[in-house]
Structure 1
Amino acid sequence: MSQIDLNDVARLLAVTEAGGFRAAAQRRTDSASALSEAVRRLEEALGARLLNRTTRSVALTEAGARLVDRARPALAELAAALDAVSGDSGRPTGTLRLNVPTFVARHVLPPIATAFLKRHPGVRMDVTAQDSFIDVLAEGCDAGIRYEERLALDMIATPIGPRRQRFVLAAAPSYIAERGAPAHPNDLLRHARIGHRFLGSKALAIWEFERDGEIIRVPPEGPLTASTFEMQIAAAVAGLGIIGHFGEALAADLATGALVPVLDDWWQEFSGPMLYYQSRRHMPAPLRAFVDFVRAEGRTASD
């Protein structure tokens, strides 16, 4: 077997994660042709086809899938070791890869990430927004952000962003004028409900209410279900139905009166998001810096 260039293995991973050569090239400094040549070299060195190529997509062969499954965590560990060494100078350098829910990517992480990157100019942050729960290490990420009920038990968790949040229901004044306001969560079954589908998943976000020991779950079935917040909020403002969402996502429209509260005596509070990561003897320098930054910000916010 010919000598293997680990950079070519990394390029193969980039192509499979992006779903094609052109998409991978947009995320890297390599051109699509350079990525294709790297995969060809790797196949030639291994004596096995790794990708089935069509004009529109690429798919791993059985041999390619085996290689990717073994190589992804190995390369992640190698990157962590290099980052640990590079961080010995006291100024962390390298890439911090995070997997976060779409809501967190829009409403929680931006100010935290901006402040962190200004403080640590040697660090690059690569954020993937995805609502389904994944094995962050297997996907080549350093850490993830999720809510408490979806955290893996063997992970370390640190609060990030708001400590408490609320699930808020709202509708346009025009909708309330036409259909009336529900007085109880069970009344929602007679109303148009705008639903949220988790990005990267087929799961629908069920509305849940609890008061005085009574738990009521309502499926948000109605004229629109979407994974994009913009479509849901625009539909609600236009009077298409009642929307249920994180309070932060609806705050601006509630403040202007474009939306009005619905069933606010049933709104539920819940714990805010958590930064989670696996305990390692040699934590990558960018991750260590980010964890320390988040903890420091949390202590300042609680003072």
Structure 2
Amino acid sequence: MRTTDLSELAAFDAVARHRSFRRASEERGVTASAISHAVSNLEARVGIRLLNRTTRSVSLTDAGAMLLAQLSPAFGGIGAALDALNQFRDTPFGTVRINAPNSIAPFVLGPVIGPLVERNPNLQLEIVATDRLVDIVEEGFDAGIRLGESLRDGMTAVRIEPRLRFAVVGSPAYFERHPAPRSPAELAGHACIRNMYASGVPYPWSFAGKGPEVEFEPGGPLALHDHELMIEAALAGAALAYVWEPRARPYVESGRLVACLADWIAPEDWLYIYYPTRKYLSAGLRAVIEALRVKG
């Protein structure tokens, strides 16, 4: 088989996995038109349509599904063979793509990126931080980071550090006008920012540190998704914010924000780095997991 044939098969494999020429082109590092041309050449070579294309979607024909089923383990074997060469190098080689929630990525990945890159100079990290719920298989990531409660079946998950918790914070000026709440029930008398997921769906402020879990749904004038913007609103004295404690910590330590209800807030579920159970675990991904995993 000529090299061009293997390139065409790789292009088809990428499109078939992502169901998208654009995402396949991003994974392969070429233009979408080049991917389309390669797949068309492959179909012309074998004389069978492998993909059904519309302006909005890509799907596999029966022949395409059969070819993908044969190609996936073959390309996995090629990847494993190339990765096995790492035993002849001092450090892992290759690219690892990680997806992580934007709101927590700095606290999880920030402390390990420097040492990880320094120890593994041949490793390339691609980190996409977004609070949108991502299908890591469909979008071509090697692994993702999530709270344990949101993991789905078919994934291997490794517990990682740190274990995060939320904090309720307000500015000193705000608390000069309003006495600090002593329990979640007293929040009803305060201006509180309504937290939203990236989808726009609101989520409550949860309290479980002193007895049964209590969920408070703010009714204030502000509804925000970005935690940094919540911090800015709290600094301005506009309202109380419910944000990840590490994000608020520098402002609390400097006195620009004041935390309250700390005894009522329990740590969240553990964070995990997760990847498809059947995925070959490359040396690069193993290095990332080792850097993040809970020690001891």
TM-score computed with the length of structure 2 as normaliser: 0.76
**SS of the residue aligned with 2:230?**
helix
Q: Structure 1 residue 139: deviation in Å?
A: 4.3
Structure 1: give runs of 5+ residues left out of the alignment. Answer: 54-58
Aligned 8 A contact 1:147 1:274 in 2: yes
Q: Structure 1 residue 61: deviation in Å?
A: 3.6
Aligned 8 A contact 2:92 2:120 in 1: yes
Aligned 8 A contact 1:8 1:42 in 2: no
Alignment partner of 1:60 out of 57, 60, 64: 57
Matched residue type, 2:57: L
Matched residue type, 1:237: L
| Residue pairs, 1:289-300, within 5 angstroms | 289-295=287-293, 298-299=294-295
Aligned 8 A contact 2:148 2:272 in 1: yes
User: Which residue is 1:285 aligned to?
Assistant: 283
User: Which residue is 2:166 aligned to?
Assistant: 167
Q: Structure 1 residue 93: deviation in Å?
A: 1.6
Alignment partner of 2:10 out of 7, 11, 14: 7
Is 1:257 the counterpart of 2:258? The answer is: no
| Residue pairs, 1:32-51, within 5 angstroms | 33-35=33-35, 37-38=37-38, 41=41, 46-47=48-49, 50-51=52-53
Structure 1 pair 67–207 and aligned structure 2 pair: CA distance change class (3 A) = farther
**SS of the residue aligned with 2:202?**
coil
Is 1:234 the counterpart of 2:232? The answer is: yes
- Take 2:276 and 2:50, find their aligned partners in 1: how far apart are those partners? 34
Structure 1 pair 32–245 and aligned structure 2 pair: CA distance change class (3 A) = same
Matched residue type, 2:245: G
Count of matched residue positions in the alignment of Structure 1 and Structure 2: 286
- Take 1:27 and 1:283, find their aligned partners in 2: how far apart are those partners? 18
- Take 2:94 and 2:290, find their aligned partners in 1: how far apart are those partners? 16
Aligned 8 A contact 1:195 1:232 in 2: no
Structure 1, residues 208-250: CA drift from partner, whole Å, max 9, x if none?
Answer: 1124423210124422223222222111211221111111011
Aligned 8 A contact 1:108 1:161 in 2: yes
Q: Structure 1 residue 38: deviation in Å?
A: 4.0
**SS of the residue aligned with 1:261?**
strand
- Take 1:77 and 1:223, find their aligned partners in 2: how far apart are those partners? 52
- Take 2:78 and 2:104, find their aligned partners in 1: how far apart are those partners? 26
Structure 1 pair 77–182 and aligned structure 2 pair: CA distance change class (3 A) = same
- Take 1:36 and 1:153, find their aligned partners in 2: how far apart are those partners? 33
User: Which residue is 1:56 aligned to?
Assistant: none
Structure 1 pair 244–79 and aligned structure 2 pair: CA distance change class (3 A) = farther
- Take 1:293 and 1:169, find their aligned partners in 2: how far apart are those partners? 30
Structure 1, residues 149-200: CA drift from partner, whole Å, max 9, x if none?
Answer: 33446644433232x332100012222233432222112223222133233x
Structure 2: give runs of 5+ residues left out of the alignment. Answer: none
Structure 1, residues 244-293: CA drift from partner, whole Å, max 9, x if none?
Answer: 11110111221222211122332322354222345569522212222334
Matched residue type, 1:167: F
Is 1:109 the counterpart of 2:128? The answer is: no
TM-score computed with the length of structure 1 as normaliser: 0.75
Identity %: 28
